Amino acid sequence: LRDNRIELVRASWHELSISVSDVSLSDEGQYTCSLFTMPVKTSKAFLTVLGVPEKPQITGFTSPVMEGERMQITCKTSGSKPAADIRWFKNDKEVKDVKYLKEEDANRKTFTVSSTLDFLVDRSDDGAVLSCRVDHESLNSTPQIAMQVLEIHYTPLVKIISSNSWPEEGQSIVLTCESKGKPVPEPVLWTKDGGELPDPERMVVNGRVLSISFLNKTDNGTYRCEAKNPIGRNSTEYVLIVHDVFNTLLPTTVIPSLTTATVTTNVALTASKTTSATAISTRDPNAFAGKTGPDHALIGGIVAVVVFVTLCSIILLGRYLARHKGTYLTNEAKGAEDAPDADTAIINAEGSQVNAEEKKEYFI
């Protein structure tokens, strides 16, 4: 052996050792040690040299990539002997559906291997790390890795979040438009029923937030949030329905007027009490909440009954007095209208004891 890379390390009658530095593929082959005796004795050994794969290179990669486009990227390494193994990973998860290719190098000793990854990109791939890993026995369990970070551009994804799931009249509501896209979307556009917001004083837009104060039924409608970026635009809608305020005040109860003579005192009082009880136990959900006051209708009914009873009593008493006076004049003083004095009137009266044949009594 005549090479400067080969040195004699040890030489004795029992051992002969050499060292080879900067090993190359040309050092591979059969080595023979000879002992010059009679006859000559020899021993042979075959040296295999491994071809270390070069650092892998990724080709065909472009950035950024539009959502929905197809990406074809290839990872290649040369100089491996035997042929190296290439595997793809996306965020530490191995991708199995790849195309593997092995070619023999010009020296006919080493190999060039490549692996192609073909897939449709999605917005979920944005920021994903693609790794090409080369495994070979010459690397001592330390693989060579090449990496690329994906950048995917996509149209905005829009979502509206409401602060009030049951808006009522007089309340406020805040609608937040969440827009996510790449590049970052421009400020969103708020519209109502296809036109501009009708009441800018109550409907205030601050960035992606729409605030509506003092809600009323005129605010009912469809609110649209639209976001756009250089890739495209997208929008979503929110239907606002303003509900009535829930009321808990007592309803107004009407008691019929008690003016007919056919209604007795007992019946009127009973009807009034029954109506009052119904009024107290019934609540109108549409009335405004507040402090319960006295039932004026009940008081008015009682007063009407008292007035009616008083008038009836006066009428009966008047009729009684009129009948009593007429009977007295008819039976006691008949015939005494023309008497000059009281004594003569008594004497001339038809009912006097002077002219009467018998005593008569009248009961009125």
Assign domain 155-240 to its CATH superfamily: Immunoglobulins (2.60.40.10)
Tens of pLDDT along 219-241?
999 999 999 999 999 999 999 99
Contact 209, 177 (CB under 8 A): yes
CATH T-level topology, domain 57-150: Immunoglobulin-like (2.60.40)
Tens of pLDDT along 96-125?
989 999 999 998 899 999 999 999 999 999
pLDDT (0 to 100) of residue 73: 96
pLDDT (0 to 100) of residue 206: 94
pTM greater than the 0.75 cutoff:
no
Instruction: Give Dmax (Cα) for the chain.
Output: 210
State whether the Cα torsion 17-18-19-20 is positive or negative.
negative
CATH 2.60.40.10 residue spans of the chain: 57-150, 155-240
| Residue ranges, the chain, pLDDT below 70 | 247-294, 324-364
Q: Torsions phi, psi of 100, nearest 5?
A: -110, 135
pLDDT (0 to 100) of residue 224: 96
pLDDT (0 to 100) of residue 310: 92
β-strands 65-66, 152-162: how paired?
parallel
pLDDT (0 to 100) of residue 364: 58
Distance from chain centroid for Cα 25: 68
Using DSSP, state whether 344 is helix, strand or coil. Answer: helix
